[in-house]
Amino acid sequence: MASAIAIADAEGIDAVSIRRVAAELGARAMSLYTHIERKEDLFDLMADEVNAEILVEGELPGDWREAISAIVRRTREVLRRHPWLVDLVSRRPQVGPNGLRHGEQSLAALSRLRIEPEWKWRIIAAVDDYALGFVIREGMRQEGSRGYAWTQAERDALMRPYLREFIDSGEFPNLAPLLADGAPDVEGGDRADDDFERGLRWMLDGIARDLAL
């Protein structure tokens, strides 16, 4: 199903249609249904294949914070490489083999900690929540709507007069200064890295303090 992934990488998940994938393979549409039962199954296969990329190779760092940071950074990288994955991740739990392996690896990152397994899971959930939210909002920022390929400048030009109206209305005393010089929504690439690391550190700090780790 590499063809399906290639299509999604290039044109987004909506471009992945049964007919399209079949054409890419030189087959007819209905032939795909010998391998899958519903289109959703195709998506599941795609997701699990890419979930394999999330697995961190080699030894995990011994320090638990470094270990889950490594995993979560890798998750972000993969989600940037395959932005359509967030559409699938947000639709259903990832319980394919590689999804489970990812869960296992996340737990392994905390294996040294002497706390109950439930708590390990809660830590992972909180960090994953943050990371998922960040990556979603990051992706949405950099491409606007997936599929509509406006450049940053074009969208900026369209948006500015619209935003100006609101700024001038005086209804947004706190927001206006931030909107004035380039929307804060659109920050450069390395800024995003800093933001990601900072939020992650905040979350981990809060966890460490609370659980005295």
Partner DNA sequence: CGGAAAATCGATACGCCGTACGGAATGGTG
Partner DNA sequence: CACCATTCCGTACGGCGTATCGATTTTCCG
The CA distance from 23 to 62, in Å, is 48
Residues 146-185 as x/- pattern, contact with a second copy by CB under 8 A: x------------x--xx--x----xxxxx-xx-----xx
Instruction: Name the DSSP letter for residue 15.
Output: G
- Minimum distance from residue 77 beta carbon to a second copy (Å): 17
The CA distance from 5 to 82, in Å, is 8
The CA distance from 13 to 7, in Å, is 8
**Which range of residues in 27-35, 46-54, 65-73, 195-203 is near a second copy by CB under 8 A?**
195-203
Region 83-112 residues binding a second copy, contact defined as CB under 8 A: 86-87, 89-93, 95, 97, 100-101, 103-104, 107-108, 111
The backbone torsions φ and ψ at residue 200, rounded to the nearest 5 degrees and listed phi first, read -60, -45
The CA distance from 165 to 5, in Å, is 42
Answer for which of 6, 19, 147, 157 binds DNA (CB under 7 A) is 19
Which tokens is 151 given?
């450049």
| H-assigned helices in 12-116 | 18-24, 39-54, 64-81, 85-89, 97-109
Is residue 201 at the binding interface for DNA, with CB under 7 A as the rule?
no
Nearest CA-CA partner of 77 in 143, 131, 129: 131
Cα angle vertex 151, ends 147, 152, to 5°? 115
Residue 86 partner contact from DNA, a second copy, none using kind-dependent CB cut-offs of 5 to 8 Å: a second copy
Residues 33-52 as x/- pattern, contact with DNA by CB under 7 A: xxx--xxx------------
Answer for which of 2, 30, 158, 178 binds DNA (CB under 7 A) is 30
Residue 136 partner contact from DNA, a second copy, none using kind-dependent CB cut-offs of 5 to 8 Å: a second copy
How many residues bind DNA (CB under 7 A)? The answer is 16
Closest to a second copy by CB, 23 or 63: 63
Residue 34 partner contact from DNA, a second copy, none using kind-dependent CB cut-offs of 5 to 8 Å: DNA
